[in-house]
Structure 1
């Protein structure tokens, strides 16, 4: 019989993926003023997976945690409306790098004692793909990254991973860290009654200092630019002309 456990799901507030990103005029970063924000899509998948495990009788509680400004409460409420039981907001106004996030999450893990931590494989704003791996290293837990299937067993979890050229299945002892890939599931929509119930679910507020973590950035962003436009293509009339252009102009042969 699978163990009854708590599942912790870190979630991040990011620019909605349907919004066209605009760069600040000084090139210092992405314009966030008056921009629609949403939960990181990979984290939505992580929340959904945690809820499915609870509904299958593999977990007793799903706790969501977000590190960010006060507005990140909205992201937590979204997860609570999906079905999570309670939330934790670690309040910080500036950007937080993956290592600092992992250190804070290590403190949350120590307090909450989850059997499983499920988080998105990356956030769509910085695409770092580092936090899950760093958290596993800091806690000493096994990690199953890029998960497309999660099966919780008796004291262990089997994770099917998306890897180059195919799939890999690993078995991890609990507690473990799992990062969710796109194919893991399709997140549910929150019903109106659950949205109303979410307003009454508890959200505890913390600070990085509560976990003894310094969130001062270690990296400095020098410049942010939009991707360059693609050059127009050209038509060729024959294979010999194509070969000539690849040799003389593109320099690839």
Structure 2
């Protein structure tokens, strides 16, 4: 069993965000691995451990700083990592990103077959949840999305999915693309040995040329969406400060009623 996990280097959501030429400004000191991707790494590790054999490969797409996401996946237990980095990729939308990742999956599979691609349910900087579906379409693989539980056996993947008014159990033949939610598992903590090994690990860097992807098919110029304007959030005005002297709850209720919110 060989599983590829996509991990994204995303900006710290608690930091002040800004845009440059229609894209999020990214700096080396405030990025981290997308938190929801930790569930994807954990799901892959559990499958390999249950089978008693296999390999988990962490893949990221991004600038030089994005390699930190791969190293974090290695700290959690992934066996190998791949970093796709090319200036022409900058500004890609979900379709361009899916094109690049699909090409990387095929290149990884040249060495050994990839049975499963697992992603997080969303990237916290975009929150579209569109990549798993776009990637499955690009690879022409089965797709199982928003899994709250995942098992693999007898050549197929089976997920449980919790919806507002239903509970689904869905299966699909391998190879497949699966996205997991934060309900799927509790990610493990890295141990010291893996932290040190991840720091020294050699992570190959692939360009579009290595993947055989035409630069005109990705990047901002090929994006199907465009940011036409971005401005800083205006400061809040007319704030009401309530000093609690024992009746703050009543004051809050009166305020909500006055504004028609209760």
Q: TM-score normalised to the size of structure 1?
A: 0.83
Deviates more, 1:108-117 or 1:227-236: 227-236
Aligned residue for 2:188, secondary structure, equals: coil
Q: For the structure 1 residues 188 and 135, does the alpha-carbon distance in structure 2 shift closer, same or farther, using more than 3 Å as the test?
A: same
Alignment map for 1:183-222 (pairs within 5 Å): 183-211=183-211, 212-213=213-214, 214-217=217-220, 218=223, 219-222=225-228
Q: Which residues of structure 1 form unaligned runs of 5+? A: none
Offset of residue 23 of structure 1 = 2.8
Partner of 1:23 in structure 2? 18
- Cα deviation digits, residues 34-91 of structure 1 (max 9, x gap): 6421101111110111111111126510001110011111211111111111111110
> Which whole-Å deviations, capped at 9, do the CAs of 1:198-249 have from their partners, x for residues lacking one?
2343412111233314322223212234567598798659xxxx6x975xxx
- Residue 169 to residue 245, structure 1, CA distance change in 2 (3 Å): same
Aligned length: 237
Check the 8 A contact 1:42/1:120 in 2, yes or no. Answer: yes
Paired residue secondary structure (1:32):
coil
Q: Secondary structure at the match of 2:144?
A: strand
**Deviations 1:1-22, CA, capped at 9 Å, x for gaps:** xxxx1000011100124x2333
Distance 1:9 1:245, change over 3 A: closer
Alignment partner, residue 90 of structure 1:
84
Distance 2:184 2:237 in 1: 33
Alpha-carbon RMSD:
2.7
Please tell me whether residue 43 in structure 1 is matched to residue 37 in structure 2: yes
User: Which residue does 2:60 correspond to in 1?
Assistant: 66
Residues 69/53 of structure 1: CA separation in 2 closer, same or farther (3 Å cut): same
CA distance in 2, matches of 1:173, 1:230: 55
Q: Which runs of 5+ in 2 are unaligned?
A: 241-251
- Cα deviation, 1:122-167, whole Å, max 9, x if unaligned, reads 1111112111001111222111111110011110111112323242
Native 8 Å contact 1:21 1:30 kept in 2: no
Answer whether contact 2:160 2:168 (CA < 8 A) is retained. Answer: yes
Asked whether the equivalents of residues 80 and 86 of structure 1 are also in contact (C-alpha less than 8 Å), the reply is yes
Q: Give SS of 1:203's match.
A: coil
- Partner residue, 2:175: 175
Report the 3-state secondary structure (helix = DSSP H, G, I; strand = E; otherwise coil) of the residue aligned with 1:66.
Answer: strand
User: Structure 2-normalised TM-score?
Assistant: 0.80
Match of 1:159 in 2: 159
